[in-house]
Amino acid sequence: MNNLKALVEVLTPHPSLTLDLSLIQTFDYYTGVVFEVISDAESGQRVLGQGGRYDQLLGLYHPQGEIIPGIGFSLNVEQLHQVLLAAGQLPQQPPTSHWLVVAETESTIVYDRPEVIAAAFAHAQKLRQENPHSPLTRVEVDLSQKPPEQIRTIARQRRIPQIAWVKAQGSVTIEALE
Protein backbone atom coordinates (compact mmCIF):
# COMPACT_ATOMS: atom_id res chain seq x y z
CA MET A 1 0.00 0.00 0.00
CA ASN A 2 2.91 2.37 0.67
CA ASN A 3 4.11 1.85 -2.92
CA LEU A 4 0.64 2.66 -4.22
CA LYS A 5 0.48 5.72 -1.99
CA ALA A 6 3.80 6.89 -3.45
CA LEU A 7 2.42 6.34 -6.96
CA VAL A 8 -0.65 8.42 -6.17
CA GLU A 9 1.63 11.19 -4.86
CA VAL A 10 3.54 11.12 -8.16
CA LEU A 11 0.24 11.52 -10.02
CA THR A 12 -1.06 14.29 -7.73
CA PRO A 13 0.53 17.15 -9.73
CA HIS A 14 -1.41 15.85 -12.74
CA PRO A 15 -5.05 16.34 -11.74
CA SER A 16 -6.18 15.07 -15.11
CA LEU A 17 -5.07 11.52 -14.18
CA THR A 18 -6.93 9.13 -11.92
CA LEU A 19 -5.57 5.90 -10.43
CA ASP A 20 -8.63 3.70 -9.97
CA LEU A 21 -8.12 0.86 -7.46
CA SER A 22 -11.81 0.06 -7.06
CA LEU A 23 -12.07 -2.25 -10.04
CA ILE A 24 -13.51 -5.71 -9.84
CA GLN A 25 -11.79 -7.76 -12.47
CA THR A 26 -13.55 -10.68 -14.09
CA PHE A 27 -10.35 -12.48 -15.06
CA ASP A 28 -9.68 -15.41 -12.70
CA TYR A 29 -5.91 -15.00 -12.77
CA TYR A 30 -5.88 -11.72 -10.82
CA THR A 31 -5.37 -12.39 -7.11
CA GLY A 32 -4.91 -8.93 -5.65
CA VAL A 33 -5.08 -5.28 -6.52
CA VAL A 34 -6.35 -4.45 -10.00
CA PHE A 35 -5.94 -0.92 -11.32
CA GLU A 36 -6.52 1.43 -14.22
CA VAL A 37 -5.02 4.82 -14.97
CA ILE A 38 -7.63 7.04 -16.56
CA SER A 39 -7.22 10.43 -18.18
CA ASP A 40 -9.83 13.03 -17.33
CA ALA A 41 -8.57 15.30 -20.10
CA GLU A 42 -10.82 17.69 -21.94
CA SER A 43 -10.67 15.38 -24.95
CA GLY A 44 -12.60 12.78 -22.97
CA GLN A 45 -11.80 10.01 -20.54
CA ARG A 46 -9.36 7.47 -21.84
CA VAL A 47 -7.91 4.36 -20.21
CA LEU A 48 -4.14 4.93 -20.42
CA GLY A 49 -3.06 1.75 -18.66
CA GLN A 50 -4.24 -1.13 -16.54
CA GLY A 51 -2.90 -4.11 -14.66
CA GLY A 52 -2.88 -6.00 -11.43
CA ARG A 53 -1.45 -8.70 -9.22
CA TYR A 54 -1.53 -12.34 -10.28
CA ASP A 55 0.08 -14.76 -7.86
CA GLN A 56 -1.23 -17.97 -9.44
CA LEU A 57 -0.96 -17.25 -13.18
CA LEU A 58 2.68 -18.14 -13.81
CA GLY A 59 2.23 -21.45 -11.98
CA LEU A 60 -0.21 -22.55 -14.70
CA TYR A 61 2.64 -22.42 -17.22
CA HIS A 62 5.57 -23.58 -15.06
CA PRO A 63 6.63 -27.18 -15.90
CA GLN A 64 6.48 -28.22 -12.23
CA GLY A 65 3.52 -25.97 -11.40
CA GLU A 66 5.68 -23.73 -9.21
CA ILE A 67 3.74 -20.68 -8.07
CA ILE A 68 5.56 -17.43 -8.74
CA PRO A 69 4.00 -14.16 -7.57
CA GLY A 70 3.76 -11.39 -10.12
CA ILE A 71 2.32 -8.06 -11.09
CA GLY A 72 1.88 -6.69 -14.57
CA PHE A 73 0.47 -3.79 -16.46
CA SER A 74 -0.02 -2.56 -19.97
CA LEU A 75 0.01 0.92 -21.42
CA ASN A 76 -2.47 1.90 -24.11
CA VAL A 77 0.02 3.74 -26.28
CA GLU A 78 -2.53 5.09 -28.77
CA GLN A 79 -4.67 6.56 -25.98
CA LEU A 80 -1.61 7.96 -24.22
CA HIS A 81 -0.49 9.54 -27.50
CA GLN A 82 -3.88 11.21 -27.98
CA VAL A 83 -3.84 12.69 -24.46
CA LEU A 84 -0.26 13.96 -24.77
CA LEU A 85 -0.97 15.38 -28.23
CA ALA A 86 -4.05 17.26 -27.01
CA ALA A 87 -2.07 18.61 -24.02
CA GLY A 88 0.81 19.78 -26.26
CA GLN A 89 3.27 17.56 -24.38
CA LEU A 90 4.73 15.70 -27.35
CA PRO A 91 8.05 16.81 -28.84
CA GLN A 92 7.59 18.74 -32.06
CA GLN A 93 10.56 16.97 -33.59
CA PRO A 94 12.29 13.71 -32.65
CA PRO A 95 15.78 14.09 -31.19
CA THR A 96 18.62 13.91 -33.67
CA SER A 97 20.60 10.68 -33.81
CA HIS A 98 24.36 10.78 -33.31
CA TRP A 99 25.15 7.98 -35.75
CA LEU A 100 23.78 6.31 -38.86
CA VAL A 101 25.13 2.76 -39.13
CA VAL A 102 24.89 1.44 -42.69
CA ALA A 103 25.08 -2.25 -43.59
CA GLU A 104 27.32 -2.14 -46.64
CA THR A 105 27.42 -4.99 -49.19
CA GLU A 106 28.41 -5.46 -52.78
CA SER A 107 25.00 -7.01 -53.43
CA THR A 108 21.91 -4.89 -53.96
CA ILE A 109 19.99 -7.09 -51.53
CA VAL A 110 21.29 -6.82 -47.96
CA TYR A 111 18.96 -9.58 -46.74
CA ASP A 112 20.99 -12.12 -48.76
CA ARG A 113 23.86 -11.33 -46.39
CA PRO A 114 22.79 -11.95 -42.77
CA GLU A 115 26.40 -11.54 -41.61
CA VAL A 116 26.45 -7.85 -42.67
CA ILE A 117 23.17 -7.24 -40.87
CA ALA A 118 24.61 -8.85 -37.72
CA ALA A 119 27.80 -6.78 -38.05
CA ALA A 120 25.79 -3.54 -38.44
CA PHE A 121 23.66 -4.24 -35.38
CA ALA A 122 26.73 -5.28 -33.35
CA HIS A 123 28.46 -2.01 -34.24
CA ALA A 124 25.34 0.00 -33.39
CA GLN A 125 25.23 -1.71 -29.98
CA LYS A 126 28.93 -0.97 -29.45
CA LEU A 127 28.35 2.72 -30.21
CA ARG A 128 25.46 2.85 -27.73
CA GLN A 129 27.58 1.28 -24.98
CA GLU A 130 30.94 3.01 -25.60
CA ASN A 131 30.54 5.67 -22.94
CA PRO A 132 27.98 4.60 -20.32
CA HIS A 133 28.57 7.78 -18.29
CA SER A 134 27.68 10.19 -21.09
CA PRO A 135 24.17 11.06 -22.22
CA LEU A 136 22.33 8.52 -24.32
CA THR A 137 23.96 7.89 -27.70
CA ARG A 138 21.25 7.64 -30.36
CA VAL A 139 22.03 5.31 -33.28
CA GLU A 140 19.99 4.48 -36.37
CA VAL A 141 20.66 1.42 -38.55
CA ASP A 142 20.11 1.56 -42.32
CA LEU A 143 19.54 -1.68 -44.23
CA SER A 144 18.03 -0.04 -47.31
CA GLN A 145 20.97 -0.57 -49.71
CA LYS A 146 20.41 2.86 -51.21
CA PRO A 147 23.36 4.38 -53.06
CA PRO A 148 25.90 6.04 -50.74
CA GLU A 149 25.11 9.58 -51.89
CA GLN A 150 21.41 9.04 -51.19
CA ILE A 151 22.26 7.73 -47.71
CA ARG A 152 24.41 10.81 -47.10
CA THR A 153 21.52 13.05 -48.20
CA ILE A 154 19.16 11.27 -45.80
CA ALA A 155 21.69 11.64 -42.96
CA ARG A 156 22.07 15.36 -43.66
CA GLN A 157 18.29 15.83 -43.78
CA ARG A 158 18.03 14.15 -40.37
CA ARG A 159 21.01 16.18 -39.08
CA ILE A 160 23.00 13.01 -38.28
CA PRO A 161 26.65 14.06 -38.07
CA GLN A 162 28.38 10.67 -38.55
CA ILE A 163 27.93 7.58 -40.68
CA ALA A 164 29.52 4.22 -39.89
CA TRP A 165 29.76 2.06 -43.02
CA VAL A 166 29.92 -1.57 -41.80
CA LYS A 167 31.01 -4.52 -43.96
CA ALA A 168 30.17 -8.17 -43.33
CA GLN A 169 33.55 -9.01 -41.77
CA GLY A 170 32.96 -6.20 -39.26
CA SER A 171 35.31 -3.58 -40.69
CA VAL A 172 33.99 -0.06 -40.17
CA THR A 173 34.64 3.13 -42.09
CA ILE A 174 33.65 6.32 -40.26
CA GLU A 175 32.49 9.32 -42.25
CA ALA A 176 31.86 12.70 -40.65
CA LEU A 177 29.33 14.82 -42.48
CA GLU A 178 29.79 18.56 -42.68
Residue ranges and CATH numbers for the domains of the chain are 2-86 (no CATH), 99-176 (3.40.50.800)
Local structure of 78: helix, strand or coil: helix
Residue range 101-106: mean pLDDT, rounded? 86
pLDDT at residue 148 is higher than 60: yes
Q: Give the residue, 165 or 178, on which the prediction is more confident.
A: 165
Looking at every residue in the chain, the average pLDDT score rounds to 83
CA distances from 21 to 70, 81, 173 (A): 17, 23, 55
pLDDT at residue 108 is higher than 60: no
Residue range 140-153: mean pLDDT, rounded? 93
pLDDT tens digit sequence for 25-81: 666 777 877 888 888 766 678 888 888 888 888 888 889 988 888 888 898 999 888
Q: How far is CA 70 from the centre of its chain?
A: 22
The pLDDT value given to residue 25? 66
The pLDDT value given to residue 161? 96
CB atoms within 10 A of CB 134: 7
Answer yes or no: pTM beyond 0.75: no
Residue range 156-170: mean pLDDT, rounded? 93
Strand ranges, E, within 93-161: 99-103, 139-142
CA distances from 72 to 11, 50, 167 (A): 19, 8, 41
